[in-house]
């Protein structure tokens, strides 16, 4: 599970199920399907059953796995894959598949998969194209799962936060895009966790829906004619976004045309 999902879900467990958090959650390579299934089994062993799955692992085009790191990155002819897409798309889709199977085998007649997409699903980015593409893919996948709530009472939806203060920004070298002295604000993991808990229990958060989260914004992202995110709202702004163009130019010059 990624940092945002991990922080948020652990906070939720402490609030709702004190004393029930696993002491040693399994370290999992989410690109390894055997390890993913082992993590599901560990959850059942810890909690007795499986009611909620949150596939929160994600990376945001870090230097090693950036689209523009053609000659310096870890995505090579030998790997024949893009690690960002394996983590951000394939892993949550596989988790959903496993979750549906577990829910139906338990015969509890309910289950929820809460995905972590992003406001990035609604906006393009030349600097981190794989991240934005992957989040758009998960948003569309979640919408495609909408009928399961009516058929089997299995709810699959997603939270789409803006700038959550987690290490995903630091690991990718992009924390400097935000400048709090210039008015930029971070969304706390606790704020996101509170929304996630509401989504697990609230009737309005129907299956297939995507909910955008800012510091003080919470709105449903519509499939058709959505106005898009308010990029001036609290938790959405990037005062130093010009750094992105500098980084893009540097990566191009280092990895292409030589």
Half-sphere exposure of 194 toward its Cβ, with a 13 Å CA cutoff?
A: 10
Q: In this predicted model, which residue has the larger pLDDT, 196 or 1? A: 196
What total number of domains does the chain contain?
1
CA dihedral 156, 81, 40, 57 (to 10 degrees): -60
Give me the pLDDT at residue 5, please: 39
CATH code, 48: 3.40.50.720
Angle at 61 between CA 89 and CA 246, to 5 degrees: 150
Q: Are 3 and 167 in contact (CB under 8 A)?
A: yes
CA atoms of 205 and 197, how far apart (whole Å): 11
Query: What is the Cα–Cα distance from 218 to 236, expressed in whole angstroms?
Result: 12
Question: Whole-model pTM?
Answer: 0.89
Q: How far is CA 78 from CA 60, 61, 65, 73, 82, in A?
A: 22, 19, 14, 12, 11
CA torsion through residues 249, 252, 253, 257, sign: negative
3-state SS class at 232: coil
With H, G, I as helix, E, B as strand and everything else as coil, classify residue 119. helix
Q: How far apart are CA 20 and CA 249, in angstroms?
A: 48
Helices 3-16, 189-201: crossing angle, 10 deg rounding? 60
Residue-wise pLDDT for 13-63, tens only, equals 333 444 555 555 678 899 999 999 999 998 888 889 999 999 999 999 998
Question: pLDDT for 207-233, tens place per residue?
Answer: 999 999 999 999 999 999 999 999 999
- CA separation, residue 89 to residues 5, 53, 139 (Å): 15, 15, 10
The pLDDT of 69-80, averaged and rounded, is: 94
pLDDT score of 25: 61
Note the pLDDT tens digit of each residue in 146-197: 999 999 999 999 999 999 988 887 777 778 899 899 999 999 999 999 999 9
Both tokens of 239, joined, read 């005062």
Q: Residue 46's pLDDT is what?
A: 87
Domain hosting residue 238, numbered range: 3-255
- DSSP label of 152: H
116 Cβ contact list (under 8 Å, min separation 6): 2, 4, 5, 54, 55, 56, 58, 92, 158, 159, 161
């Amino acid at each position: 599970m990624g940092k945002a999902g991990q922080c948020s879900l652990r906070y939720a467990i402490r609030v709702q199920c004190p004393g029930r958090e696993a002491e040693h959650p399994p370290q999992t390579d989410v690109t390894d399907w055997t390890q993913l299934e082992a993590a599901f089994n560990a959850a059942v062993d810890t909690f007795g059953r499986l009611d909620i799955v949150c596939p929160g692992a994600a990376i945001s085009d870090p230097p090693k796995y950036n689209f523009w790191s053609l000659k310096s990155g870890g995505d090579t002819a030998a790997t024949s894959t893009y690690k960002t897409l394996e983590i951000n798309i394939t892993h949550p889709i596989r988790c959903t598949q496993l979750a549906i199977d577990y829910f139906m085998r338990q015969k509890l007649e309910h289950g929820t998969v809460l995905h972590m997409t992003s406001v990035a699903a609604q906006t393009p980015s030349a600097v981190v194209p794989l991240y934005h593409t992957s989040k758009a893919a998960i948003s569309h996948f979640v919408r495609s799962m909408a009928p399961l709530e009516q058929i089997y009472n299995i709810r699959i939806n997603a939270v789409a936060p803006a700038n959550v203060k987690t290490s995903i920004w630091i690991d990718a070298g992009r924390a400097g895009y935000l400048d709090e002295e210039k008015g930029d604000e971070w969304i706390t993991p606790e704020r996101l966790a509170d929304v996630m808990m509401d989504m697990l229990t609230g009737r309005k958060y129907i299956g297939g829906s995507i909910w955008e989260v800012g510091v003080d914004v919470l709105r449903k992202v519509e499939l058709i004619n959505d106005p898009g995110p308010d990029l001036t709202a609290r938790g959405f702004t990037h005062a130093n976004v010009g750094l992105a163009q500098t980084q893009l130019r540097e990566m191009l010059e280092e990895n292409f045309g030589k």
